[in-house]
Structure 1
Amino acid sequence: MVVTGLTIRRIAPADHEAVGVVGFAACAAADAFEDSYRDPEVIAKVQHEFAVFPHQAQAEIFVAELDAEIVGWGAREGEPNYMSDLWVHPDHQGKGVGRALLLHCCELMAAEGLATARLDTHARNAGAIRLYEHCGFTIIWHGIEFSKSMGVPLEKVHMEKRLVD
């Protein structure tokens, strides 16, 4: 699906608050997380992490904008071929926003001569895994990892896509 009128661009300082709001809304709406991870302390920690991420992260962040509203964002952080974040507001999920952001970042990585693109997600995040697989990613690892942002262990998958042959 292609989203008509969607613009993907680098984040601007004026976008920071909206990026935090979109990320937290997408995370809170996900059904991938166990109920035990939704206690008020964890929720407050996650909301704070999303609010400060655009200010503190050493990341390359891209926003997806539709009708002058930020509806999603993605980030490359750490290794140049690692996509650390991909979040789409629940009101805009399933409409091609995540796919557009993901492919945009993969195209940048390929243009930089990187051989692979990598990302991680919660193992029960079936919608995200389906999106990533449709965009050419495959699961290369499945296990338990500690989430710094949530402060709890999570069941995760690591995924990878070949960018050049």
Structure 2
Amino acid sequence: MLKKFPPPFSTELYEQLSLWVSQQQNVRGINLEVPLNLSSVLEEEDGSPDFIYILYQGDKMTAAGSVVDILKTKDYEIGFAASDEQTARGLMSVIHQDLLSLFPTSITAVIDERATLEKNALLELGANNEVCEAQLMVSQLSGEKPAVPIELVEYHFSRHNDYREVLMDSFGDEVEEAEAIIQLSLSQPSRTLYGIHVNGATVGTINLIRSDDAFITALAVRPSHQKKGIGRAALHEAVNMLFEEGYRSVSLDVEIKNTHALKLYEEVGFQVQNIFQFFKM
């Protein structure tokens, strides 16, 4: 029997899902907690899953999936896990058809690169692996902070166009995508968007997420100001800020093919913890 749960999610559901995920991770040696957004299930904010699907055989859980539209642009991301390949295929087929009825802009499934049965299920459903991302973590910075006069300044509406232009120039985003990133940061209490200022000019952005754990997203530097140590200096500043607030580690995600950024993060002290694959449905 398949059950679909909309938010808000109960503590009972969280505990049931958490226990099942923990058991699966221990047996299979893969990361399911991140793709399923387990740490966000009980948060009443836009980063939480939009829906949770659980497949039962009697009283026993055999598969679970979460769906989230982080930027509220109908770009749906599915994290899922199952006890066997056939069950995984059945669950994803149902979720996929369900999301098609919502007229999505895109549907992407995310899995740990070691999740063989989920990968096989996606390939059989015709999904294509387009992106691989590494999740990195730092608990102690390496190297010296570059002697660049940067300042991290919290978002202010008077600089809104500057933030948008930075994101568009750095990531190649359209106006709507850049605006969605900014609005996500402004709508969630756990997120703080900073401008990276050099001599009073906004040359970059960096977003800090302060929840149970600390994360960095949306690190961007204008192409005209890259290769000057600004990104490295901003990382040092942001990570030290979070350490001073009591966090013992800081995490971030980066595409594997972005070798320049990956090298920078590793030189600063970040180490790869997990690699996730993203499949377009």
Q: Assess same fold via TM > 0.5.
A: yes
Q: Deviations over 1:103-128 (max 9, x none)?
A: 11111111122111100011211111
Q: 1:14 aligns with which of 140, 145, 158?
A: 158
Equivalent position of 1:26 in the other structure: 170
| Offset, 1:10 | 2.0
Task: Tell me if structure 1 keeps the 8 A contact 2:185–2:192.
Answer: no
Distance in 1 (alpha carbons) for counterparts of 2:202 and 2:223: 12
8 Å Cα contact 1:9/1:62 also seen in 2: yes
The counterpart of 1:114, out of the listed 230, 243, 247, is 247
Does the aligned pair in 1 maintain the 2:192–2:209 contact within 8 Å? yes
Say if 1:16 and 1:55, in contact at 8 Å, map to a contact too: no
1:3 CA drift (Å): 4.9
CA–CA distance in 1 between the matches of 2:176 and 2:205?
20
- Which residue is 2:209 aligned to? 77
Select which of 61, 65, 68 maps to 2:200: 68
SS of the residue 2:163 aligns to: helix
**Is it true that 1:87 corresponds to 2:231 in the alignment?**
no
- Deviating more after overlay: 70-79 vs 87-96: 70-79
Residue number in structure 2 paired with 1:141 = 274
Is 1:49 the counterpart of 2:180 in the alignment?
A: yes
Deviation of residue 54 (structure 1)?
5.1
Opposite residue 157 of structure 2, the aligned amino acid is P
- The C-alpha deviation readout for 1:91-110, integer Å capped at 9, x for no partner, is 11111111111111111111
- C-alpha separation in 1, matches of 2:200 and 2:175: 28
Q: Which residue of 1 aligns with 2:236?
A: 103
Amino acid at match of 1:126: T
Percent identical residues? 20
Whether 1:130 and 2:263 are equivalent positions in the alignment is: yes
The letter of the residue matching 2:260 is G
**RMSD of the TM alignment (CA)?**
2.5
TM-score (norm 1): 0.70
Is the Cα–Cα contact under 8 Å of residues 21 and 51 in structure 1 kept in the other structure? no
Unpaired runs of at least 5, structure 1: 29-41, 147-151, 154-165
Deviation at 1:85, TM superposition (A): 2.1
Q: Structure 2 length as normaliser, TM-score?
A: 0.43
* Farther-moved stretch of structure 1 (3-12 vs 94-103): 3-12
Which string of whole-angstrom CA distances, capped at 9 and with x for unpartnered residues, describes residues 23-56 of structure 1?
A: 121001xxxxxxxxxxxxx846524424544543
Amino acid at match of 1:56: S
Q: Distance in 2 between matches of 1:114 and 1:50?
A: 24
Equivalent pairs, count: 135
Q: 1:105 to 1:5 in 2, by over 3 A?
A: closer
Given that 2:216 and 2:252 are in contact with CA atoms closer than 8 Å, whether structure 1 keeps it comes out as yes
Q: Which amino acid is the alignment partner of residue 82 of structure 1? A: F
The residue type equivalent to 2:227 in the other structure is G
